[in-house]
Chain A
Amino acid sequence: MAKFRPKKKRRTVPRLEPRIALISALMMTVMSVVGARLYYLQVIKTSEYAQLADRNRIRIRHLPAPRGLVFDRRHRPLVNTRPSFDAVVVPEDSDNLSQTIERLQDLLGDDDIADKVVEAEQNGRAPYDPITVDENLDWQQVVALETHQLDLPGVSLQIMPARHYLYGDLAAHLLGYVGEVSRNDLLHLANYRMGDEIGKFGLERGWEPYLRGVAGGEEIEVDAVGRKLRVLKEIPDHQGESVVLTIDLDVQQAAEQAMEGKNGALVAIDPNTGYILAMVSHPAFDPNIFVGGITPANWRKLITDPEHPLEDRVIQGIYPPGSTFKLVDSVAGMEERTLTPETTYNCPGGMWYGGREYHCWRRGGHGTIALHRAIVSSCDVYFYNVGLHLGIDRLAHWAHLLGLGRKTGIELHGESPGIMPSSAWKERMYHQPWYPAETLSVAIGQGYVAATPLQMAEVVSEIANGGVRYKPQFVHYVEGLDGHVIKSYPPVVEARLNIDPKYLETIRDAMAGVVNSPWGTAHRVRLPNVTVCAKTGTAQVIGAGKAGVRAGEPEGEIPVKYRDHGWLVAFAPEDHPQIAVACVIEHGGHGGSSAGPIVHDVLEKFFELYPPNAAQQLTGNSGAAPAMAAR
Chain B
Amino acid sequence: MPLIDRRVLKHFDWTLFVIVLMLEGLGLVTVLSASYVASANRLDPLFVRQLVWIGVGTLLMLGALWFDYRALVTYSYPLYAIVLLLLIAVEVIGHSTGGSRRWINLRLFKLEPSELAKIAIVFVMVRYFRLEPPPGGWGFRHLIIPCILLGVPAALVLKQPDLGTGVVLVLITATLLVASGLNWRVMAGLALAGMLAAPLSWHYLKPYQRARLESFIDPQADPLGSGYHIIQSEIAIGGGGSWGKGYMKGTQARLNFLPEETTDFIFAVYAEEFGLAGSLLLLGLYASLIGRGLWIARHARDRFGSLLAIGITGMIFWQVAINMMMTTGMLPVVGIPLPLVSYGGSSLFTTMAGMGILMSVNARRHTF
A residues in contact (CB < 8 Å) with B: 2, 5, 8, 12-13, 15-17, 19-20, 22-24, 27-28, 30-31, 33-35, 37-39, 41-43, 45-46, 48-50, 52-54, 56-57, 92, 95, 221-225, 229
Contacts and interface: CB of A to CB of B under 8 A. Distances in A.
B257 A20 contact: no
Contacts of A20: 179, 294, 297-298, 306, 310
A620 to B, nearest CB: 63
Contacts of A50: 238-239, 241
A49 B234 contact: yes
Interface residues of B, number: 57
Q: Nearest 5 A-B pairs (CB), nearest first?
A: A49-B238, A53-B239, A224-B256, A42-B276, A223-B255
Contacts of B271: 38, 42
Interface string B318-329: 001100110011
Interface in B289-345: 290-291, 294-295, 297-303, 306-307, 310, 313-314, 317, 320-321, 324-325, 328-330
B303 A34 contact: no
B170 interface: no
A49 B237 contact: yes
Contacts of B287: 28, 31
A153 B123 CA distance: 47
B276 A39 contact: yes
A12 B276 contact: no
Contacts of A27: 290, 294, 313, 317, 321
Contacts of A46: 238-242
Q: Is the interface of A mostly helix, strand, loop or mixed?
A: helix
A30 B299 CA distance: 23
Interface of B: 132-133, 175, 178-181, 224, 232, 234-242, 251-252, 255-257, 271-272, 275-276, 279-280, 283, 286-287, 290-291, 294-295, 297-303, 306-307, 310, 313-314, 317, 320-321, 324-325, 328-330, 366
Given A13-B303, A38-B271, A42-B279, A30 B321 contact: yes
Contacts of A225: 256
Nearest to B302: A12
Given A23-B294, A42-B279, A49-B238, A2 B299 contact: yes
B88 to A, nearest CB: 32
Contact of B366 (A8, A22, A33): A8
A42 B238 contact: yes
A483 B291 CA distance: 79
A222 to B, nearest CB: 7
Given A31-B283, A38-B280, A43-B241, A15 B321 contact: no
Contacts of B297: 16, 20
B301 A12 contact: yes
Contact of A37 (B299, B314, B330): B330
Contact of B283 (A12, A22, A34, A41): A34
A224 to B, nearest CB: 4
Contacts of B237: 38, 41-42, 49
Contact of B179 (A23, A49, A224): A23
B300 A22 contact: no
Contacts of A23: 175, 178-179, 294, 310, 314
